[in-house]
Structure 1
Amino acid sequence: MREVLADARRWWEAGERFALGTVAATWRSAPRPAGATMAVGPDGTVVGSVSGGCVEGAVYELGQEAIATGEAHFERFGVSDDDAIAVGLVCGGILDVLVTPVDAASFPVFEAVADSIDADRAVALVTVLAGPAPIGARLAVWADETAGGLGDPGLDAVVAAEARALLAVGETRTLALGPQGQLLEDDVTVLVEVFAPTPRMIVFGAIDFARATVRVGKVLGYHVTVCDARPLFATPQRFPEADEVVVDWPHRYLGRTEVDERTVLCVLTHDPKFDVPLLEVALRGPAAYVGAMGSRRTHADRVRRLREAGLGDDELARLRSPIGLDLGARTPEETAVSIAAEIVSLHRGGGGRPLTDLDGPIHSGLLRADPPPDSPAGSGG
């Protein structure tokens, strides 16, 4: 929902009913992940995407119907005979889409969830896909509270616990829950959309390569910080697209700022007095990615200095240096693409090889281990 939130808020504040189409689950080469959202406005406006264009027309029609009737629908889309081009996924994937109306009656927790997303406060939105509760019933879950409800306190308690577990790992998922003692008497399927705080990219070294890396970082959806100890170079004017520019010694700033398992660190200083003490801190912390710029000779000298500082093989194995994938990059912009490619590859488990050299699905990160059932997902109101 994050991608359509600005338009959704505008319609909400005007008191107009609109519709949200959300990907609940995918199989094979479906082009968008679970949680991808398309909104249909009261005036017919469309924002966002659930499939990159393959089934948008069909979801649009369901959205208009949801606006007109106030009823939710749960549909499965895939390749099927002559309809594949018209409303199917020509890529061969399969996806389930939930289409719901949004107004004060059908989505009473909308404003609270939207406020949390805007404030970068972690929240999970649980929506019923099948079961005893109505399709589209919602429960908002935070670390220490809930809002809304699915019509049954026992069901709320079970799904809230599951949602908090997914909040901890930052993962959106569809859950099928069976009877659990006296808490659940019937099977229920829910979509748990997790809206985690925006991940951070910290770029150390206020150089021309940093400017390009900041731009790419913003495209990838990071909150980007530039840090350099030199006030002459570390200025907002030189990095207008950065969320913040910090003048401080890199290792000192990294030691006092928030870093978690989704943070990426790009060390572009390639100067031992900056990057060695910085990497001592970085490689002992939880960051998902630590990359450092420099030649092979610079890298070898850097590793020697880090070993002398007491870092072991496991810590040094986390260092991506020289930074980036081998794209033959030369310019700052090309180098930034190389860095971004390595970050995405590491995050998604890609090999960095040309797709034309590989067999199998190209969206391997979107695969589900279990095949979809033979029967359609169904629809309902």
Structure 2
Amino acid sequence: MREILPALSRWYAAGEPFGLATVVAVSRSAPRGPGAAMAVGPGDQVVGSVSGGCVEGAVFDLAKEVVESGEARLETFGYSDEDAFAVGLTCGGEITVLVRSVSPAADTSFDEVAASVAGHRPVVVATVTDGPAPRGATLAVWPQEISGTLGSQGLDAAVTADARGELAQGATGLRHYGPHGERREDDVTMFLQAFAPPPRMLVFGAIDFAAAVARIGAFLGYRVTVCDARPVFADPRRFPDEADVVVDWPHRYLRGTDVDDRTVMCVLTHDPKFDVPLLEVALRSPAAYIGVMGSRRTHEDRLARLRDRGMEAGELARLRSPIGLDLGARTPEEVAVSIAAEIVALRWGGSGSPLADTAGAIHPPRLKSV
């Protein structure tokens, strides 16, 4: 839902109610995961997607009905063998969608949640999907405060405790409770959607390739920082507005910035005086991906220099160099696609092979948080 929040915030600020449809559960080969969202606003404006096109028409109609009635709806869509032209997922999967009406009167905490997501502050939104609690009721949970109610103090307390446990991981999914917060499987079903701060992409080396990598990193949802020790190259005018540009020695900047196991690093300088001290720090960080630009000969020289500094084989094995997948890329934009493809493949456990040459599920389970 993060990508459609700007439009939702505009409608909310104008006092315009809108229908918000959120995927709360999936099975088999569903094209979008839990948390994917679509909204229908004033003048029948549509933003977002819940299935990549398979059931959007039905969800559009449903959202308009929900805005009119004010009553939240829970619907499941799947492929129909009896009628292939019926509303359903031709990929053979199944999605369950919660549709609720959002307005300043019905959801007083929505603007606070939107501001937190935009400001990279963690928040969890818990929504009743089924059971004796009011369907569509929401509770927003931050590390130190909550807003809203699910209908009972016990349920609010139990969900708040679970939501705060999910804040660090950014996990999203269904949870089950008794009407007063007891751990039971047959009463209230809640959808907990965690908005963790976006993962970071650190791009070292403000060369022409870096601008293209920064653009595609921002497109993929990363918070991008470009760092170079040379002010003439680290000029913010050369990079997309979404990227922070830092003038500093890369290894010194890296030592002083936050890195976690979702962070990806793209080292594009291919200059030993920058790369070697930087990689000595990077390879001892929890970063999910460390890709380094350069030829195979450059990489062998780089490995030798790092060994001389005491780096061990297990640490060096984390390097992905030459950076990117083999796409035959030449231009900066093509190289950026190659790098992004490698990051996405690592994130989801993909092989990088053409789908036509593979078998099994197209959308494998998530393996890494990159």
In the other structure, the counterpart of 1:133 is 133
Matching of residue 327 in structure 1 with residue 332 in structure 2: no
- Is the Cα–Cα contact under 8 Å of residues 155 and 181 in structure 2 kept in the other structure? no
Q: What code does the residue aligned with 1:271 have? A: D
Instruction: Measure the CA separation in 1 of the matches of 2:133 and 2:348.
Output: 35
Contact 1:130 1:189 in 2 (8 A): yes
Matching residue's letter, 2:318? R
| 1:261–1:287 contact (8 Å) kept in structure 2 | yes
Counterpart for residue 72 of structure 1: 72
Q: Matches of 2:274 and 2:308 in 1, distance apart?
A: 16
Secondary structure in structure 1 of the residue aligned to 2:98: strand
Q: Give CA-to-partner distance per residue, 1:35-81, whole Å, 9 cap, x none.
A: 01101113211111111111011111110111111000000000114
In 1, the alpha carbon distance for the partners of 2:183 and 2:37 equals 31
Structure 1 contact 154–183 (Cα < 8 Å) conserved: no
Letter in structure 1 aligned against 2:150: L
Check 1:296–1:313 CA distance in 2 against 1; reply closer, same or farther (3 A cut): same
**CA contact 1:29–1:362 (8 Å) conserved in 2:** yes
Residue 325 of structure 1, CA deviation = 1.1
Q: Which has the higher contact order (CA 8 A, sep 6+)?
A: 1
Which amino acid is the alignment partner of residue 349 of structure 1?
A: G
Mean Cα deviation higher: 145-154 or 63-72: 145-154
**In the aligned structure 2, how far is the partner of 1:92 from the partner of 1:292?**
40
Q: Percent sequence identity over matched residues?
A: 63
Give the alignment of 1:106-185 within 5 angstroms: 106-177=106-177
Q: Check the 8 A contact 2:203/2:267 in 1, yes or no.
A: yes
Residue 266 of structure 1 corresponds to which residue in structure 2? 266
Give the 3-state SS of the residue equivalent to 2:42 in structure 1. Answer: coil
Report the residue type matching 1:351 in the other structure: S
The answer to whether the 8 A contact 1:179-1:185 is kept is no
Write the distance in 2 (CA, Å) between the matches of 1:251 and 1:182.
Answer: 50
* Cα distance change of structure 1 residues 237 and 295 upon mapping to structure 2, 3 Å threshold: same
C-alpha separation between the residues in 2 aligned to 1:366 and 1:43? Answer: 37
- Following TM superposition, by how much is the alpha carbon of 1:225 offset from its aligned partner in structure 2, in angstroms? 1.3
CA RMSD of aligned residues (A): 2.0
| Partner Cα distance (2:75, 2:242) in 1 | 41
Residue 14 of structure 1 pairs with residue 14 of structure 2: yes
Q: Which amino acid aligns with 1:130?
A: D
**TM-score scaled by structure 1?**
0.91
Q: Which structure 2 residue ranges, 5 or more long, are not aligned?
A: none
Q: In the alignment, residue 249 of structure 1 is paired with which amino acid? A: W
Residue pair 1:266, 1:290 contacting (<8 A) in 2 also? yes
Distance in 2, Cα, partners of 1:95 & 1:311:
47
Which SS does the other structure have where 1:314 is aligned?
A: helix
Equivalent residues in 2 for 1:30-109 (5 A)? 30-81=30-81, 83-109=83-109
Equivalent position of 2:354 in the other structure: 354
The answer to whether 1:28 aligns with 2:12 is no
CA displacement, residues 235-293 of structure 1 (integer Å, 9 cap, x when unaligned): 01222445211111110111112222211110011111100000011111121111111
Deviation sequence 1:182-234 (CA, Å, 0-9, x none): 67796221111111112211111111211221121122111211111111111
The letter of the residue matching 2:130 is A
Distance 1:356 1:345 in 2: 16
Letter in 1 for 2:16: E
Q: Report the number of matched residues.
A: 367
Amino acid at match of 1:192: L
Measure, in 1, the Cα distance between the counterparts of 2:65 and 2:123.
Answer: 29
Say which SS state the counterpart of residue 92 (structure 1) adopts.
coil
**Residue identity opposite 2:153 in structure 1:** P
Q: 1:303 to 1:178 in 2, by over 3 A?
A: farther
Q: Structure 2 vs 1, CA of residues 34 and 366 (structure 1 numbering), >3 Å: closer, same or farther?
A: farther
User: How many angstroms does 1:82 deviate by?
Assistant: 5.1
Q: Does the aligned pair in 2 maintain the 1:155–1:183 contact within 8 Å?
A: no
Could you tell me whether the CA contact under 8 Å between 1:263 and 1:287 is conserved in 2? yes
Match of 2:284 in 1: 284
Amino acid at match of 1:320: R
Kept in 1, the 8 Å contact 2:36–2:50? The answer is yes
Q: Is the 8 A contact 1:236 1:242 kept in 2?
A: no
Residues 133 and 179, structure 2, Cα contact 8 Å, conserved in 1: no
Q: 1:317 to 1:366 in 2, by over 3 A?
A: closer
The whole-number CA distance in structure 1 between the counterparts of 2:47 and 2:84 is 23
Q: Gaps (5+ residues) in structure 1?
A: 368-381
| Contact 1:21/1:98 (<8 A) preserved | yes
1:308, 1:293 → 2: CA distance?
Answer: 20
Contact residue 26 and residue 366 of structure 1 kept, 8 A: no
TM-score normalised by L of structure 2: 0.94
SS for the counterpart of 1:169 is coil
- Using the TM superposition, give the Cα deviation of residue 119 of structure 1 relative to its aligned residue in structure 2, in angstroms: 1.2
Three-state SS of the structure 2 residue aligned to 1:96 is: strand
- Letter paired with 1:326: D
Conserved? CA contact 2:154–2:181, under 8 Å:
no
Q: Which residue of 1 aligns with 2:213?
A: 213
What are the Cα deviations for residues 336-372 of structure 1, in whole angstroms up to 9, with x where unaligned?
11110110011111111111111122112379xxxxx
Is 1:247 the counterpart of 2:247 in the alignment? Answer: yes
- Matches of 2:366 and 2:26 in 1, distance apart? 7
Would the alpha carbon gap of residues 325 and 16 (structure 1) be closer, same or farther in structure 2, given more than 3 Å must change?
same
Matches of 2:158 and 2:20, distance apart in 1: 25
Structure 2 CA distance for aligned equivalents of residues 77 and 187 of structure 1: 22
